[in-house]
Amino acid sequence: MKELIRKLCDVYGPSGQEEAVRDLIRAEIADVVDEMRVDALGNLIAVKRPTQGGEGKQTRVMLAAHMDEIGVMVSHVDANGFLRVSTVGGVLANAILGTQALFADGTRGVFGSEGEMIVRDKPDLHKIFLDVGASSKEELSVGVGDQAVFRSEFIDQGKRLFAPNFDDRIGCAVLIQTLRELKETPNEIIAVFTVQEEVGLRGAATAGFGVEPDVVIALDVTAAGDIPEVKVSPSALGQGPAIKVKDVRMIAHPGVRRWLVRTAEAYEIPHQLEILELGSTDAAAVQISRAGVRAGTISIPSRYVHQPSQMVDYDDVQNCVRLLVNALGGPIQQF
């Protein structure tokens, strides 16, 4: 599974340009799903039909993981070849200075700031530029409208993994691996690899309307607070997947939360509960689709979310897969 994670993290895919990520995922799941399609917005929708008969109505479960990553878009180019940028998603100005960026054509750049060579105060996004090493505007292969994503090396350090875009390529990896390991299920599984989550949960909103699931579970990261001087630690690396209770846009359905917690307890899967004070997931958009959907989220704790070098625990990733496979492998009781 680590090789799958590495491949996903290496692929360029900012919000609105998820094609390469989608192509990779399509190849990875082609032999484990019964149907695939791409909707008008670009979501990859894969269906795994029930393999067992069951009494009563089959449960349609939507699993959502977003393919896009945050980045920047070129908004202006000056005569000396420096690029001014607009943010795409929640970019933290104080985290990107001196880090590398990657464009779709392979061009690399580094983020700098106006004024002194050493920035002592909190940087202003309006003063940040991208330097691709050009000495004039004419040398550039990129221009206004082109997008760049943050790039640092994927590192496997045993249990701890590092990458610039675990949000949410790690969720995509969990969803792919779940589809591979879920051999038998009485439920209809609709795996949706969504687009444009980082700019407003847009792909999930349209997919949820079209798919009409009975239940939705989003797979995403959550901020790990197990670092020095953090007073409130919502989750910690190595303590298992985080089952969401609440975030800023959603209160998880209590029945969905109980189902996931009971599954974790029954199979002795380490887990923790999550209350997130900043941010949300695809589940929030699907929850209020049509007449409403029972919604929950399973999160992978991550240090340094929305920063160019993020960290997750590999045991948490594997336990997230275990939780999903066991939860979906049998009939889902009425909530």
Q: What is the pLDDT of residues 137-147, one digit of tens each?
A: 999 999 999 99
pTM for this predicted structure: 0.94
Q: Which residue stretches of the chain are H helix?
A: 2-10, 19-29, 93-96, 166-181, 202-211, 254-266, 282-287, 314-328
Range 71-150 classified under CATH 2.60.40.10: no
User: Above 80 in pLDDT, residue 289?
Assistant: yes
Identify which of 134, 317, 174, 311 has the alpha carbon closest to the alpha carbon of residue 241. Answer: 317
Asked if the model's pLDDT at residue 238 lies above 90, the reply is yes
Count of CB atoms situated within 10 Å of the CB of 117: 6
- Nearest-angstrom CA–CA distance, 128 and 114: 6
What is the Cα–Cα distance from 329 to 324, expressed in whole angstroms?
Answer: 8
The burial of 84, by beta-carbon neighbours within 10 Å (0-12 exposed, 13-18 middle, 19 or more buried), is given as middle
Task: Characterize the bridge pairing of strands 215-223 and 60-66.
Answer: parallel
- What is the three-class DSSP state of 186? coil
Query: DSSP string covering 102-113, please?
Result: EETTS-EEEEEE
Beta strands in the chain (DSSP E): 35-38, 44-48, 60-66, 71-77, 83-88, 100-103, 108-113, 128-131, 147-150, 155-157, 160-163, 188-194, 215-223, 242-246, 272-275, 294-302, 310-313
- In the block, residue with structure tokens 């106006």: 114
**Architecture of 2-69+165-328 per CATH?**
3-Layer(aba) Sandwich (3.40)
Cα separation, 227 vs 317, in Å, equals 19
**CA dist 209 → 74, 201, 285, 287 (Å):** 33, 13, 9, 10
Q: What is the pLDDT of residues 74-132, one digit of tens each?
A: 999 999 999 999 999 999 888 888 999 999 999 999 999 888 666 666 778 888 999 99
Q: Does 71-150 match 2-69+165-328 at the fold level?
A: no
SS3 of 12, please?
Answer: coil
What is the pLDDT confidence band of residue 60, given thresholds at 50, 70 and 90?
very high
pLDDT for the residue 166: 97
Residues acting as catalytic residues: 197
Distance CA 94, CA 103 (A): 21
The rounded distance, in Å, linking the Cα atoms of 299 and 23 is 24
The angle at the Cα of 243, spanning 241 to 248, to the nearest 5 degrees, equals: 120
Higher pLDDT, 318 or 335: 318
Instruction: Tell me how many degrees the CA angle 287-199-296 measures, rounded to the nearest 5.
Output: 25
Q: Extract the tokens encoding 174.
A: 């969990």
User: In the chain, where are the structural domains located?
Assistant: 2-69+165-328, 71-150
The Cα 88–Cα 130 span in angstroms is 14
At residue 25, does pLDDT exceed 60?
A: yes
